[in-house]
Amino acid sequence: MHISHVLRRARVRGDRRAIRVVSTLSVHPVALAVAATLAVGLPSVAGAADDLATVKSDVEQLKRDVAQANEWRTVNSNVHLTGYAAVSYSAPEAGDSSFGGTTFNPIFHYLYKDLLLLEAELEIELEDDGATATALEYLTLDLFVNDYLTVIAGKFLSPIGQFRQNLHPAWINKLPSAPLGFGHEGAAPLSDVGLQLRGGVPLGPAKVNYAVYTGNGPKLELNGVGTEIEAVMSEGFGADNNENKVVGARIGVLPVPNLEIGASAATGSTLDDTGATGKRDYDVIGADAALQIAGLDLRAEYVRSEIGAGPVAAVDPGEKQWKTWYGQAAYRIPGTPLEAVARFGKFTPPGANPTEQWAVGVNYVFAANVIAKLAYEANDTEGVEDDDRALAQIAYGF
């Protein structure tokens, strides 16, 4: 609108104040420029106000998001689902090759403050006939008493040696199979149900870790016709069938962080479910060592389980002993995702020839927790046809 037109309209209205202002503007170019600038700027001021409101809203939302993200710091309980899974392939020299070893092991962790941890692992496994087997691998309530002691109650992995309690998960085990004698019906105990004390204690530059436990102990298993003790079953039983708890312990010494030397022992009694074997003494001793140096991971374990004589037993009254040991070396080739592994093991069951096993393999480490394994196992038992096989496995620890 031209300024003369504004002046005319002000005169028509008789608005003296407007007439004065417009007259002044018409004779002062600078004042006119200022007025024009103000007029142009008014819409910008309004936009800025809108922007400010938006920023305020964003900040409030951000505050709510941050508060929500930090809720875990203030809640009493934290939950985490973890575990591992594996799929395997086996090609024996004698027999059919097959995909198998399809396992899924979810582990549930519930932590109440820094006081109590519930740990439970299920083992869900696809069987040869297509059925699915489910087992409770372990379930413990871990009470953190202080920095050096945790009291554990429930079904726990046997603290005898290292393989069972720390190394058996598929994404940790360097080979697709367990060492001889460290699986079911072997020499090394698998699990127990009871009470355990464990922890770590610094000793100057060295360190000691320990586990002491008492539990229901194992059961004896007879062969199919019930004439001979075939195995000591130690899957962790929910009842004690011989009124005698097993007591055991392991102590591990780390003179330097990359070297651990352990010794284990357990003692108690055992019996089969029918009572035919009579109550037998049960003793286990074990030793283990692990060293990590210059890309090498070196391990060795020895376990011996034995049952005493049963002078009045109706079945198989003699002493029996199961022995096993293995040594393993793994080497991560620098600058590559490849890892070479070799293991030798020997398992000696009672009344039978020992089995020796060589296993060599190469792993492709996609990530720390995603590993593809290729291995060849040579199993040699005197008087028995060799049971050699090629193995492949992909394992994922999640």
CA 93 and chain centroid, separation: 33
Bridge partners (DSSP) of residue 393 are: 88, 373
Position of tokens 């090394």?
Answer: 188
Pairwise CA distance, residues 114 & 265, whole Å: 31
Pairwise CA distance, residues 395 & 398, whole Å: 10
Q: How far is the CB of 137 from other proteins (least distance, A)?
A: 13
Give every CB contact of residue 170 below 8 A, 6+ residues apart in sequence: 84, 85, 86, 103, 105, 176, 393, 395, 397
Pairwise CA distance, residues 382 & 386, whole Å: 9
Pairwise CA distance, residues 223 & 229, whole Å: 6
| Rounded alpha-carbon distances, angstroms, from residue 9 to 33, 119, 255 | 21, 87, 101
Q: How far is the CB of 260 from other proteins (least distance, A)?
A: 6
Q: How far is the CB of 111 from other proteins (least distance, A)?
A: 5
User: How is residue 164 annotated by DSSP?
Assistant: I
Specify the residue, 114 or 382, whose C-beta has the smaller distance to other proteins: 114
Q: How far is the CB of 140 from other proteins (least distance, A)?
A: 8
Specify the residue, 18 or 340, whose C-beta has the smaller distance to other proteins: 340
Specify the residue, 1 or 368, whose C-beta has the smaller distance to other proteins: 368
Pairwise CA distance, residues 379 & 181, whole Å: 13
For 33-189, list the strands marked E by DSSP.
77-92, 98-112, 116-126, 132-146, 149-157
Q: How far is the CB of 292 from other proteins (least distance, A)?
A: 6
Specify the residue, 218 or 397, whose C-beta has the smaller distance to other proteins: 397
Specify the residue, 99 or 366, whose C-beta has the smaller distance to other proteins: 366
Q: How far is the CB of 91 from other proteins (least distance, A)?
A: 27
Specify the residue, 91 or 139, whose C-beta has the smaller distance to other proteins: 139
Regarding beta strands 229-233 and 246-256, do their DSSP bridges make them parallel or antiparallel, or are they unpaired? unpaired
Q: How far is the CB of 324 from other proteins (least distance, A)?
A: 20
Provide the binding-site residues for other proteins, judged by CB under 8 A: 72, 78-80, 82, 107, 109-111, 114, 117, 119, 142, 144-152, 162, 165-167, 171-172, 197-202, 209-212, 214, 244, 247-249, 252, 257-258, 260, 265, 267-269, 281, 283, 290, 292, 308, 365, 368-369, 371, 397
Specify the residue, 44 or 74, whose C-beta has the smaller distance to other proteins: 74
Pairwise CA distance, residues 98 & 85, whole Å: 18
Position of tokens 């011996």?
Answer: 304
User: How is residue 185 annotated by DSSP?
Assistant: T
Q: How far is the CB of 357 from other proteins (least distance, A)?
A: 22
Q: How far is the CB of 103 from other proteins (least distance, A)?
A: 17
Specify the residue, 267 or 381, whose C-beta has the smaller distance to other proteins: 267
* One-letter amino acid for residue 304 of the chain: R
Phi, psi of 57 (to 5 degrees): -65, -45
Phi, psi of 392 (to 5 degrees): -140, 150
Specify the residue, 180 or 211, whose C-beta has the smaller distance to other proteins: 211
Pairwise CA distance, residues 183 & 164, whole Å: 9
Specify the residue, 52 or 367, whose C-beta has the smaller distance to other proteins: 367
Q: How far is the CB of 326 from other proteins (least distance, A)?
A: 16
